[in-house]
Amino acid sequence: MSSLDTIPVTTEVATGNVEPLLHEIRHALKRLAEGKEGTVIDLKRLPLAPGEEERIAATLGTGEVRADVDALGPTLIQETSYPGVWLITHKNADEVVVARFIEVTYIPELLRSQQADIDAGINRLENELKN
Amino acid sequence: MRKDQNLGEYLRMQGVSRRGFLKFCSATASLMALPPSAVSQVAEALATARRPSVIWMSFQECTGCTESLTRSHAPTVESLIFDAISLDYHHTLQAAAGHGAEAAREAAMEENKGEYILVVDGSIPNGNNGYSTIAGISNHDMLIEAAENCFAIVAVGTCAAFGGLPNANPNPTGAVSVSEIIKDKPIINVSGCPPIPVVITGVLAHFLTFGTIPELDALGRPAAFFGQNIHDRCYRRPFYERGQFADTFDDEGARKGWCLYKLGCKGPTTYNACATLKWNQGTSFPIQSGHGCIGCSEPNFWDKGGFYDPISAGQWGSRDALLGAAAAGAALGVGSALAARARKKKAQAAEEI
Amino acid sequence: MTLLEFASGPGLQWALWIFVFGITWRVVGAVFLLSRKDISKPRHTNTISAGLGAVWSRSSPAHAFEKKIRFQHVTGYAWHFALFISVLFFAPHILFFESLLGFSWPHLPNTIILITSIIATAVLIALLIRRATHPVQRFISNADDYISIFVVLVPLLTGILAFAHFGARYETLLAVHLLSVEVMLIWFPFGKLMHMIMTMPARFQAGTAFGRRGVKA
């Protein structure tokens, strides 16, 4: 196995999609600041060379908020170093990435508690208090 | 999941919160190549979706399509969708066998008349119906019977969609695709050898969500996944534009990840989602791993010249035919020159008189 | 059979057979039509250098006409130069020839080919318009001229469209480009495109014939 690792393979590729994506985020942030609605970008829909997704994440950096959500497998919601720009990585129980989004919003929908869950929780709490 | 439950109830019973359900819908919408703005619509539709009955028939195939779909052990989005449908018949996956299995199939088809989805993988031998039979019934007859009362047919894999490997020269079994036998039902061709698993489940997810057939291209393939060719989405395209090609599989160009056009890549004439969705949950695809695309989602890809012959190479035919043409031309040349000379002589003679 | 399968298979084969048949017919015919041996006493016996000299000297305009036909001179060379670069040094074309001939040669970057092919197309269209509108050119042009220009113009145009993936699905563009080349191959032996084969030998022959008599051609 180790002899395979010694084969020098380099890929100096770029699709040229990283900068336009960052510009799209910039425009989305401006729209959000003007009071218009947020934007969601599906990273799986863009042709990206190996390493470019990491470059985007590295460029956006990490901010003040990091949320580990445990629903149908782990999901990481990270506010990037640009407030309002959130990087959401959905993984399944096998730690395999199933979807990746960039959300430009005040708070991602997934972080908010959901009405159906609140209702179910009320029932559960009432049952708990009865006993 | 009980048949009368909808998907929302099923997931809640599994302990999946609304938040988890929204995550599932986001991933499913991404899977179906829908824009993120459609997630709420997807959520609404999936919450109340009924479980469609699915009959899966395997004909002249290698089982690669089923393998492609079932390679995951933990719940992925793909397998959840698979759980959400009621898979009432599948050779490889079902526990039942023999008459019992066939009876179950017939019961499911009767119960869900007009509503069940028929999934077919493998081609159908038209040469001699005895080439491929199940429980003594030929593939051809089984297909006709099952297709009669189905809602739609999903032809999974290039074999079912276009004939595939069995259909390649010289096609000893007379293999044909589903669409060459069934003419009166909507057929969705999910081609590929095998198809990308998320494309198969994406089509099923579309049924679950919208209850309709997705938009199809001229070859009957879902436009969402087969609308772009590999070349237009390939991350190595800048190398093609600059004319930087790998000449062999281990030269400097290959190590630098240059374009594989010269090594026979059929990317420009192949329509599939490999370059964006990739394989094994987005790990890689053939070109990224250093091998040119073989065009496996296109009809007749086995017979379109070699896998390592570039697209612009011609199929010139035999050298003998060329030499024959040259010989014929030479003969005509000599003949016409001699005839012209004879005419000239005759004219000179006429002049001298 | 799809259009592309036809264009890169039987269509190509037949076009090549007709091309080879036609070229052989005309060249062999021309050779067999050569006049009988000249029995007059030669002024010079070194006819080969006279022939080559004529090929060289007739490659540029005669001194007296130089200024007047500078336009045709420059555009003619520019067009042929641009065409040869586009046809012979584009990587997919080289692979096409390699599949027939068995050997290949280095290619140029696609950007250069794009520039030369656009130049070739633009110049050819401009010259075509000139031919159709200039009174003298119009007078002396016949169907052969126009057909020969069209069968070369269409491959240029369809090639650029195919490269740009513009106008239809790629496999259709590629098939149309191949078919247009096949039309050109079929027309080639029967019209003025034969100048590609005949020009240099014709100049050489004139050079030797005149050189023998001591005249500089």
Q: Provide the CATH number for the domain around residue C191.
A: 1.20.950
Which pLDDT band holds residue B16 (cuts at 50, 70, 90)? confident
Query: Does residue C36 lie in a domain region?
Result: no
**For chain C, what is the domain count?**
1
**The pLDDT of residue C195:** 94
> The tokens of B255 are what?
């190590």
Among the partner-chain residues C20, C92, C108, the one whose CB lies closest to the CB of B326 is: C20
**The pLDDT of residue B79:** 62
How many whole angstroms separate alpha carbon C115 and alpha carbon A103?
A: 42
Among the partner-chain residues A48, A96, A114, the one whose CB lies closest to the CB of B76 is: A96
Which B residues, 240 through 259, put their C-beta within 8 Å of a C-beta on chain C? 240-243, 245
**The pLDDT of residue B49:** 76
B337·C28 Cβ contact <8 A: yes
Query: Does residue C99 lie in a domain region?
Result: yes
A18-74, pLDDT tens digit by residue?
888 999 999 999 999 998 888 899 887 777 777 788 888 898 999 999 999 988 889
For an interface test with C, the pick among B167, B263, B312 (most C C-beta atoms closer than 10 Å) comes out as B312
Distances in whole angstroms, Cα of residue B169 to Cα of each of A106, B299, B300: 60, 13, 9
A117·B77 Cβ contact <8 A: no
pLDDT at A15 over 70: no
Angle, helices B18-31 vs A115-130, to 10°: value is 150
pLDDT at B78 over 90: no
**The pLDDT of residue B180:** 93
C170-198, pLDDT tens digit by residue?
889 999 999 999 999 999 999 999 999 99
The domain in which residue C136 lies consists of: 3-28+45-212
> The tokens of B292 are what?
């040119």
**The pLDDT of residue A10:** 55
Domains of chain B: 51-226 (3.40.50.700), 230-303 (4.10.480.10)
Global pTM exceeds 0.90: no
Q: Return the HEC string of C113-132.
A: HHHHHHHHHHHHHHHHHHHH
Which pLDDT band holds residue A77 (cuts at 50, 70, 90)? very high
* Eight-class DSSP state of C35: P
B313·C98 Cβ contact <8 A: yes
C110 touches chain B (CB under 8 A): yes
pLDDT at B5 over 80: no
Q: Are C74 and C82 in contact (CB under 8 A)?
A: no
Chains C and A touch (3+ CB pairs under 8 A): no
Amino acid identity at B153: I
Which pLDDT band holds residue A5 (cuts at 50, 70, 90)? low
Chain B neighbors of A9, CB-CB under 8 A: 255, 257
How many whole angstroms separate alpha carbon B51 and alpha carbon B69?
A: 19
Give the strand pairing for B175-176 and B124-125: antiparallel
Q: Are C28 and B330 in contact (CB under 8 A)?
A: yes
Across the beta sheet with A85-91, the strand order is A39-42, A97-104, A85-91, A74-79, A66-70
pLDDT at C90 over 90: yes
Q: Which residue did the predictor score with more confidence, B126 or C151?
A: C151
Q: Which residue did the predictor score with more confidence, B353 or C12?
A: C12
Cβ neighbors of B87 (< 8 A, separation 6 or more) are: B54, B56, B93, B94
Cβ neighbors of A127 (< 8 A, separation 6 or more) are: none
Which pLDDT band holds residue B353 (cuts at 50, 70, 90)? low
Q: Which one, of B353, B274, B263, B271, lies nearest residue B312 by Cα?
A: B263
**The pLDDT of residue A9:** 56
Query: Does residue C204 lie in a domain region?
Result: yes
pLDDT at B95 over 80: no
How many whole angstroms separate alpha carbon A103 and alpha carbon B27?
A: 14
Q: What is the enclosing helix (H) or strand (E) of B138?
A: strand B137-138
Query: Does residue C37 lie in a domain region?
Result: no
B266-278, pLDDT tens digit by residue?
999 999 999 888 8
How many whole angstroms separate alpha carbon C90 and alpha carbon C97?
A: 11
**What are the residue boundaries of the structural domains of chain A, listed by start?**
10-130
B244 touches chain A (CB under 8 A): no
Q: Considering only A7-11, A78-82, C109-113, C157-161, which range has the smallest mean pLDDT?
A: A7-11
Query: Does residue C120 lie in a domain region?
Result: yes
How many whole angstroms separate alpha carbon B342 and alpha carbon B340?
A: 5
Return the exposure string of A14-33: e unless at least 16 CB atoms fall within 10 Å of the residue's CB, then b: ebeebeebeeebeebbeebe
Distances in whole angstroms, Cα of residue B18 to Cα of each of A42, A118, B49, C26, C189: 21, 9, 15, 82, 75
pLDDT at B345 over 90: no
**The pLDDT of residue B82:** 63
How many whole angstroms separate alpha carbon B195 and alpha carbon B157?
A: 6
Angle at C46 between CA C44 and CA C48, to 5 degrees: 135
**The pLDDT of residue A2:** 61
B334 touches chain C (CB under 8 A): yes
In angstroms, the separation between the Cα of residue C113 and the nearest Cα of chain B is 10
A103 alpha carbon, distance to own chain's centre: 7
* Superfamily (CATH H level) for A10-130: HupH hydrogenase expression protein, C-terminal domain (3.30.1370.140)
For C149-213, the DSSP string reads HHHHHHHHHHHHHHHHT-SS-HHHHHHHHHHHHHHHHHHGGGSGGGHHHHHHHHHHHHHHHHHHT
**The pLDDT of residue B144:** 93
| Mean predicted lDDT score pLDDT of chain B | 85
pLDDT at B46 over 70: yes
Give the dihedral sign, CA A23/A25/A28/A33: negative
**The pLDDT of residue B350:** 87
For an interface test with A, the pick among B12, B13, B76 (most A C-beta atoms closer than 10 Å) comes out as B76
C40-86, pLDDT tens digit by residue?
888 888 888 888 989 998 888 888 988 998 988 999 999 999 999 99
B117-157, pLDDT tens digit by residue?
899 999 999 878 788 988 888 999 999 999 999 999 999 99
**The pLDDT of residue B9:** 78
Mean pLDDT across B25-30 = 82
Which range scores top for mean pLDDT: B7-21, B234-248, C5-19, C140-154? C140-154
Cβ neighbors of C207 (< 8 A, separation 6 or more) are: C47, C50, C51, C52, C53, C54, C55, C217
> The tokens of C37 are what?
């041996």
Question: Phi-psi region for residue B122, left (φ > 0), alpha (ψ -120 to 50) or beta?
Answer: left
**The pLDDT of residue B75:** 42
**The pLDDT of residue B4:** 65
Chains with ≥3 CB–CB distances under 8 Å to B: A, C
